[in-house]
C-alpha cells in the first residue's frame, strides 16, 4: 500500500489508447493517488499516459509551480496542453515547461496575461514541433514574439494572437515568411494591422484556410483582395467591423475562393446585393453567413442565396431593415430550407411579419430564430410556427401593454408637492 502526491492539480488523464481515466477530487490543490492498486499507481506514474492535459476547469488554482511539476513528470510525452485562463502562470514557469516538453504540438495560453515575449523566445528555442499556439489576450506580446516563433517553430499551422494590439505588419511579415504551412490566423482586435500585413499573408500563406480580422478597422479592399488571390483554399473569413470594405471583396472571394464556407461581414455597411450576387453564384459551399447591419442588402441577396447556396445552415440578417417577407419566402422554399437551415436571426427587421414565419414552417432543421424588436411579429404567429416546429427556440420581445388612461378624465398627473408649489 502506498500514498503518492502526484502533480499539484486534478484533471482527466488519457492513456495511449485514448481511454480516459478520471480523477474527481474536490481539492484542486493536490492529486492524491489513493491506495487503490499497484497497477493504478504504475499507470499514473507513467508519463507516456499524460499526453493531453486541459486545466481550464482549474484555472484559478493553477500557479507556475504546477506547470513546472507537470512538465517534469510528462517530459517529452506531452503533446497538448491548455492553460487557458490560468492567470497565475508566467514566463518563468513556461521556460521550464519549454525545456522539459520539447515535443509539444498544441499549446493554449489564451488569457494568460502575465505572458510576455520571453515565453515565445523559450518556445522558439526548445519547441520546434509546435503546430498550434493560442496567445489570445496576451496583450504584452509584440512583434518580437512573432519573429522568435518564425525562427524556431517552422511547423506552425495555427496562431491566435487576437487582442495582441501591439503587433504590426513587421511581425506578420517575419512570421509568414518562415511558416509557409500556416492554415489558421486569428488576428481579431489587432488594430494596428493595415493592408501591408495582408499583402504579406497573401504572398506567403497558400495553405491558409481560416482568417479572422474582426475589428481590424484599418484594412481596406486592397489588402483583402491580395488575400483572396493568394489563398485559394480559404474556407472561413471574418471581417466584421471592417467598415472600409466594399463589394470588391465579395467579387474577389467569388472569383478566387470557391471553397468558402463561413463569411462574417457584420457592420460592413457598404456591401450591397450586387456583391452578394457574385458571391452566391460562385461559392456554393457557404454554410454560415453573418450579415448583421449590412444595411443596404435587400430581398435580392436572399433570392440569390436561396438559389445557389444549398448548404446554408446559419444566417444572420439582424438590422437588415430592407428585408421583407418576400425574401424570407424565397429562402424558405430554397434547397437549404428543408434539411439544412438551422438558425436565422432577424432582430430589428421592421418589415418582417407573421407571413415570414409561415414561409419558414417547412424548415424542418430550424433550431433557433431571433425576432427581437420585430414589431410586426405576433404571439399568434409564433404559436402557429411552433405547431409545425415544436422544438424550435424562438427569441422575441413584446413590449408590455400600455395601461388604459385612468377613469375620471380630469385627474391631475403630478404629485401633491407640485400642486402646493
205 in Cβ contact with 228 (< 8 Å): no
Task: Please report where in the chains the cell 378624465 appears, as a residue.
Answer: 409
Domain that holds residue 359: 246-398
Reported as half-sphere exposure (CB side, CA atoms, 13 A), residue 256 has a value of: 18
Task: Please report where in the chains the cell 435580392 appears, as a residue.
Answer: 300
Quote the number of domains for the chain.
1
Is residue 289 one of the residues assigned to a domain?
yes
Is residue 150 one of the residues assigned to a domain?
no
**What's the confidence (pLDDT) of residue 410?**
46
**What's the confidence (pLDDT) of residue 17?**
40
First and final C-alpha spacing in the chain: 88
Is residue 382 one of the residues assigned to a domain?
yes
Longest dimension (CA), the chain: 90
Residue segments in the chain with a per-residue pLDDT below the cut of 50: 1-36, 407-421
Is residue 311 one of the residues assigned to a domain?
yes
| Residue-wise pLDDT tens digits, 6-31 | 343 334 443 344 444 434 333 334 44
| Residue-wise pLDDT tens digits, 324-353 | 999 999 999 999 988 899 999 999 999 999
Is residue 203 one of the residues assigned to a domain?
no
Task: Please report where in the chains the cell 433570392 appears, as a residue.
Answer: 303
Angle (CA) 210 212 215, round 5°: 170
DSSP calls for 313-364: -EEE-TT-TT--HHHHHHHHHSTTTTTT--EEE-TT-TT-BHHHHHHTTT-T
**What's the confidence (pLDDT) of residue 339?**
87
DSSP calls for 365-404: T--EEE-TT-TB--HHHHHHHHHH-TT-EEE---PPPPPP
Is residue 296 one of the residues assigned to a domain?
yes
Residues 6+ apart with CB under 8 A from 17: none
Is residue 310 one of the residues assigned to a domain?
yes
**What's the confidence (pLDDT) of residue 243?**
97
321 in Cβ contact with 327 (< 8 Å): no
Is residue 386 one of the residues assigned to a domain?
yes
96 in Cβ contact with 120 (< 8 Å): no
CATH of the domain at 286: 3.80.10.10
Amino acid at each position: 500500500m502506498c500514498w503518492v502526491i502526484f502533480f499539484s492539480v486534478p484533471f482527466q488523464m488519457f492513456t495511449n489508447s485514448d481511454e480516459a481515466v478520471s480523477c474527481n477530487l474536490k481539492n484542486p490543490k493536490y492529486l492524491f493517488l489513493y491506495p487503490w492498486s499497484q497497477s493504478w499507481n504504475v499507470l499514473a506514474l507513467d508519463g507516456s499516459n499524460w499526453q493531453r492535459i486541459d486545466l481550464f476547469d482549474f484555472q484559478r488554482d493553477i500557479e507556475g509551480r504546477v506547470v513546472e511539476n507537470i512538465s517534469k513528470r510528462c517530459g517529452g510525452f506531452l503533446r497538448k496542453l491548455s492553460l487557458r485562463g490560468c492567470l497565475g502562470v508566467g514566463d518563468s514557469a513556461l521556460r521550464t515547461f519549454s525545456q522539459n516538453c520539447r515535443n509539444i504540438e498544441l499549446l493554449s495560453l489564451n488569457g494568460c496575461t502575465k505572458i510576455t515575449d520571453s515565453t515565445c523566445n523559450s518556445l522558439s528555442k526548445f519547441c520546434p514541433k509546435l503546430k498550434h499556439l493560442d496567445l489570445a489576450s496576451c496583450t504584452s506580446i509584440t512583434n518580437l514574439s512573432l519573429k522568435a516563433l518564425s525562427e524556431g517553430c517552422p511547423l506552425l499551422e495555427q496562431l491566435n494572437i487576437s487582442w495582441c494590439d501591439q503587433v504590426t505588419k513587421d511581425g506578420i511579415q517575419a512570421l509568414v515568411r518562415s511558416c509557409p504551412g500556416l492554415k489558421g490566423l486569428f488576428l481579431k482586435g489587432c488594430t494596428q494591422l493595415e493592408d501591408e500585413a495582408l499583402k504579406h499573408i497573401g504572398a506567403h500563406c497558400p495553405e491558409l484556410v481560416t482568417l479572422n480580422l474582426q475589428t481590424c478597422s484599418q484594412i481596406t479592399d486592397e489588402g483583402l483582395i491580395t488575400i483572396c488571390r493568394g489563398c485559394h483554399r480559404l474556407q472561413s473569413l471574418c471581417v466584421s467591423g471592417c467598415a472600409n470594405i466594399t463589394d470588391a471583396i465579395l467579387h474577389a472571394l467569388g472569383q478566387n475562393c470557391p471553397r468558402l464556407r463561413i463569411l462574417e461581414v457584420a457592420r460592413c455597411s457598404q456591401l450591397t446585393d450586387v456583391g452578394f450576387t457574385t458571391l452566391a453564384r460562385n461559392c456554393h459551399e457557404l454554410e454560415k453567413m453573418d450579415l448583421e447591419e449590412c444595411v443596404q442588402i435587400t430581398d435580392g441577396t436572399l433570392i440569390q442565396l436561396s438559389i445557389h447556396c444549398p448548404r446554408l445552415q446559419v444566417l444572420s440578417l439582424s438590422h437588415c431593415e430592407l428585408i421583407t417577407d418576400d425574401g424570407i419566402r424565397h429562402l424558405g422554399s430554397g434547397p437549404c430550407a428543408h434539411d439544412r437551415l438551422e438558425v436565422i436571426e432577424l432582430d430589428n427587421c421592421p418589415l418582417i411579419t407573421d407571413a415570414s414565419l409561415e414561409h419558414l414552417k417547412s424548415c424542418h432543421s430550424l433550431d433557433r430564430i431571433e425576432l427581437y424588436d420585430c414589431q410586426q411579429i405576433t404571439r399568434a404567429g409564433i404559436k402557429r410556427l411552433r405547431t409545425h416546429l415544436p422544438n424550435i427556440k424562438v427569441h422575441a420581445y413584446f413590449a408590455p401593454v400600455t395601461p388604459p388612461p385612468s377613469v375620471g378624465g380630469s385627474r391631475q398627473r403630478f404629485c401633491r408637492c407640485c400642486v402646493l408649489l
